[in-house]
Amino acid sequence: MVGIFFTNMVKYFRKTGVSIMKRREFIINSAIAVGGTALLAGCGKKEIIKHDGEISKRRFRDLEIPLLGFGCMRLPMQGEEVDTQEVDRMVDYCMQHGANYFDTAYMYVDGRSESVMGKSLKRYKREDFILADKSPIYKMKTKADIRKIFDEQLKKCQVKYFDFYMAHNINKNTYDTYKQTEMHKELLELKKEGKIKYVGFSFHGSPDILKEVVAEGNWDFCQLQVNYLDWDVVKGKEQYEIAQSAGIPVTVMEPLRGGGLVNLSDKALAELKNNYPNTTPAEFGLRWAASLGNVVTVLSGMSNLEQVKENIKTFENYKDMDENEKLVANKIAKIIQSQGEINCTACKYCMEVCPRGINIPAIFSLYNQYKVSGVAMMFKIYYESLAEEEQGHNCIKCNLCNKNCPQNLDIPSLLAKVEEEYQKIKNLERK
Ligand code: SF4
Ligand code: SF4
């Protein structure tokens, strides 16, 4: 039926002389709409499931998925090593409370996340946990690399299949490689072979590219950056709606924006506390994302047992946000935006390619804190406490970092801006 629809549409284009560009756009939008109509029946507001002693869940196909997922990109460290004992404690606490969804990736924790999580989860029966992993597009030279790295990932995670598996980080810079290597086709092949249960993609690009990816069809889910600040800042709303109208359920990454929505400025925190004195910023941010009806799970990159406990508590007594809470979230977002933050989520992808080893996320974080607090001296002290080679003045403007930044930041320009501010503060001190 869909085939007949497209054949008729192409005939219509020929008759009316619509331009090739317009045809392409129309076909993509129509594919989304057709796919959406077919799938939306099963994609309304997903009902909350609650079992005694467990956190709230939502149904996804044959699974019940916990609303809180464990993002394994900020694992606890002891010096240079991952603190595997703390990881085990965190995993155990999650498993005891029904939070059995774990999301890892090839590059997380400098390539160590998969092995550490594999070892920890090996203590449980395979069918008792849900494991998500991702194909690192940036590593692929040929189609054969996809399977080679996939096999390596299965080995590192000590499993025979992944429940959820994604093309990792589709954006304007990775999109060509993603297409050239026919990654979508290859992932569907692995699904046919029973090595992947559900195929998806994680996304950091523009809505236009998202529409093209969605139009390929056969997606079980997608992973989007959704939080109340990015809803407008990086077009989170538009992206969420594209997925929703195509009937593709969403797993949420960066619901707290790499900690940025936990450490609120005094003004933003006052807005929250004046309205909801007993609510923590973390709880508020996680519930905001989970309240979206097409969301299956909200991933939190937790780094210690305390964070796990706090987040589990949020989802033990979970209820969707009401209209007033959403209004307050909107006001907090406006306050943060007015305080001139750099939209860095501290993912560190830029650092993987920087030939000068500049600590870009740390510099942006210091700058943001300074803008929020207004305390110039603290900014200067902390900035100078970075190793000399990590500071922004070493930037040679090669632009390699920009290609890796999922937030599309113009990193060299921002580094120059921060450096200029630092020099100003330094000169003032001399006078
Ligand atoms: S532009 Fe600067 S910060 Fe970016 S990769 Fe090059 S040297 Fe590093
Ligand atoms: S600048 Fe971009 S790539 Fe680097 S840590 Fe921040 S968000 Fe990630």
Number of H helices, E strands in the chain: 19, 13
The CA distance from 348 to 108, in Å, is: 10
Confidence check: pLDDT of 33 > 60: no
Convert the pLDDT of each residue in 354-407 to its tens digit: 999 999 988 997 888 788 767 787 788 878 878 888 999 999 999 999 988 988
The CA distance from 140 to 177, in Å, is: 7
Q: Indicate which residue's Cα is closest to atom 8 of ligand 1.
A: 354
Q: Is the dihedral of CA 270, 275, 280, 286 positive or negative?
A: negative
**Ligand 1, pocket residues at CB < 6 Å:** 353-356, 358, 360, 395-401, 411-412, 415
The CA distance from 118 to 112, in Å, is: 10
Give the amino acid at 419. Answer: E
Q: Indicate which residue's Cα is closest to atom 2 of ligand 1.
A: 395
Q: Which atom of ligand 1 is nearest to the CA of 394?
A: 7
Question: Which of 372, 240, 237 minimizes the C-alpha distance to 295?
Answer: 240
In the reported structure, the alpha carbon of residue 324 is separated from the centroid of ligand 1 by a whole-number distance in angstroms of 43
H helix or E strand, kind and range, residue 48? strand 48-49
Q: Where are the beta strands (DSSP E) in 294-398?
A: 295-300
The CA distance from 162 to 230, in Å, is: 29
Q: Cα separations (Å) of 134 from 157, 165, 222, 226, 283?
A: 12, 5, 11, 18, 27
Alpha helices in 57-101 (DSSP H): 84-96
Q: Which atom of ligand 2 is nearest to the CA of 409?
A: 2
Question: Which of 123, 125, 128, 160 minimizes the C-alpha distance to 64?
Answer: 128
Question: Which of 270, 150, 234 minimizes the C-alpha distance to 199?
Answer: 150
- Pairwise pLDDT comparison (256 vs 22), residue with the higher score: 256
Q: Which atom of ligand 1 is nearest to the CA of 400?
A: 5
In the reported structure, the alpha carbon of residue 75 is separated from the centroid of ligand 2 by a whole-number distance in angstroms of 18
Which pair of tokens denotes residue 171? 């954006």
- Pairwise pLDDT comparison (231 vs 421), residue with the higher score: 421
In the reported structure, the alpha carbon of residue 364 is separated from the centroid of ligand 2 by a whole-number distance in angstroms of 9
Confidence check: pLDDT of 302 > 80: yes
Q: Which atom of ligand 2 is nearest to the CA of 414?
A: 1
Convert the pLDDT of each residue in 197-255 to its tens digit: 999 999 987 888 999 999 999 999 999 989 998 887 557 899 999 999 999 999 999 89
Convert the pLDDT of each residue in 133-169 to its tens digit: 999 999 999 999 999 999 999 999 999 999 999 999 9
**Residue pair 415/358 in contact by the 8 Å Cβ criterion:** yes
